[in-house]
């Protein structure tokens, strides 16, 4: 690089970025070698700290030295390089993640037809009355997580259809299916807890499972939730909540819920007494063959 004596302005060539202590050969002035900057007006070399040209007194607008610029540029280049490397690694991670997701997806897709085939074999055997064979096929599908097979296997163990009756095993398979969102399994678990079948009796647990099914719009479970609120069994007694769930069930044509709504309106339980509405719901239930509703219609006030 070029440097210059600050006393007589004699120019020298020195190693790049050197900070050597020098003695000017022209005037014997001692100074530290620094990279120079050149005047854009006359082209004369000046020290990097100079604010104006020593030759023509032209002021320097840019106070930033070439050395600092080069250092900054070098730093920027390094940062840019690191960013490029980081982007490259992120791209590789994204590609690997996508590939892993695709592999898992295709393996799952391949597995589903196999589960369905096992289940269909079980159905065929069940229809023919070959219950032991049906159980074996259902078990194969159920062990691979096929919900329909888990439910059917639970029913077989619960009912003991030409098989040893085993309510604990039935509950085990109902739970597996229920955890996958199977409504009928959730309802049946509620019933088993409520009546202590294959498990210690617990109205609280029974209510919990009935509620899960009720929230999936199962009309029978909605009725049972309403009844448990109505009687305060497994949950604190609440006539308003009972009415709400009876109404949901009745609107799905559950005759027992329709009859209970008639009773609540007729007796003013949880709602204001209203004989017309009582008659409306009694009639709905009676039209579906509910004998209690038929008898109630004969005695309701007009």
DSSP letters spanning the chain: -EEE-TTT--EEE--TT---EEE-TTT--EEE----EE-TTT--EE-TT-SB-TTT-PBPS--S-HHHHHHHHHHHHHHHHHHHHHHHHHHHHHHHHHHHHHHHHHHHHHHHHHHHHHHHHHHHHHHTT-HHHHHHHHHHHHHTT-HHHHHHHHHHHHHTTTS---HHHHHHHHHHHHTTT-HHHHHHHHHHHHHTSSS---HHHHHHHHHHHHTTT-HHHHHHHHHHHHHTSSS---HHHHHHHHHHHHTTT-HHHHHHHHHHHHHTSSS---HHHHHHHHHHHHTTT-HHHHHHHHH---
**What's the CA gap between 206 and 199, in Å, rounded?**
11
> Nearest to residue 219, comparing CAs of 181, 265, 190, 183?
183
Model pLDDT, residue 64: 46
Model pLDDT, residue 187: 98
**What's the CA gap between 213 and 222, in Å, rounded?**
8
Model pLDDT, residue 283: 96
Model pLDDT, residue 65: 47
Model pLDDT, residue 46: 65
Q: What is the pTM of this model?
A: 0.63
Model pLDDT, residue 142: 94
Model pLDDT, residue 123: 92
Domains and CATH numbers, the chain: 1-63 (no CATH), 75-180 (1.25.40.10)
Model pLDDT, residue 38: 66
**pLDDT tens per residue, the chain (302 residues)?**
567 777 787 777 766 555 567 788 788 877 676 666 667 677 676 666 677 776 787 786 654 445 455 555 566 666 766 667 676 778 778 887 887 886 666 555 555 578 889 999 999 999 998 999 999 999 999 999 999 999 999 999 999 877 789 999 999 999 999 999 999 999 999 999 999 999 999 999 999 999 999 999 999 999 999 999 999 999 999 999 999 999 999 999 999 999 999 999 999 988 999 999 999 999 999 999 999 999 999 988 76
């Amino acid at each position: 690089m070029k440097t210059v004596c600050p006393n007589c302005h004699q120019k020298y060539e020195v190693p790049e970025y050197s900070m050597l202590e020098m003695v000017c050969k022209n005037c014997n002035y001692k100074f530290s070698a620094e990279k120079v900057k050149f005047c854009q007006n006359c082209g004369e070399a000046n020290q990097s700290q100079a604010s104006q040209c020593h030759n023509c007194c032209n002021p320097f607008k840019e106070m930033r030295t070439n050395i600092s610029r080069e250092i900054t540029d070098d730093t920027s280049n390094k940062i840019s390089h690191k960013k490029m490397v980081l982007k490259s690694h992120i791209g590789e991670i994204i590609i690997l993640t996508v590939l892993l997701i695709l592999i898992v997806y295709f393996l799952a897709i391949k597995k589903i037809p196999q589960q369905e085939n096992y289940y269909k074999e079980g159905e065929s055997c069940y229809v023919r009355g070959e219950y032991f064979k049906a159980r074996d096929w259902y078990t194969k599908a159920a062990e691979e997580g096929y919900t329909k097979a888990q439910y059917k296997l639970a029913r077989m163990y619960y009912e003991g259809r030409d098989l040893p009756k085993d309510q604990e095993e039935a509950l085990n398979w109902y739970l597996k299916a229920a955890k996958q969102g199977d409504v009928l399994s959730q309802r049946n678990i509620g019933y088993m807890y409520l009546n202590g079948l294959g498990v210690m009796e617990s109205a609280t647990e029974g209510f919990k499972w009935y509620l899960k099914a009720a929230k999936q719009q199962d009309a029978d479970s909605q009725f049972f939730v309403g009844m448990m609120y109505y009687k305060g069994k497994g949950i604190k007694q609440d006539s308003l909540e009972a009415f709400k769930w009876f109404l949901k069930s009745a609107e799905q044509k559950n005759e027992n819920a329709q009859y209970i709504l008639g009773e609540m309106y007729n007796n003013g339980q949880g709602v204001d007494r209203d004989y017309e509405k009582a008659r409306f719901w009694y009639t709905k239930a009676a039209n579906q063959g509910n004998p209690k509703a038929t008898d109630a219609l004969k005695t309701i006030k007009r």
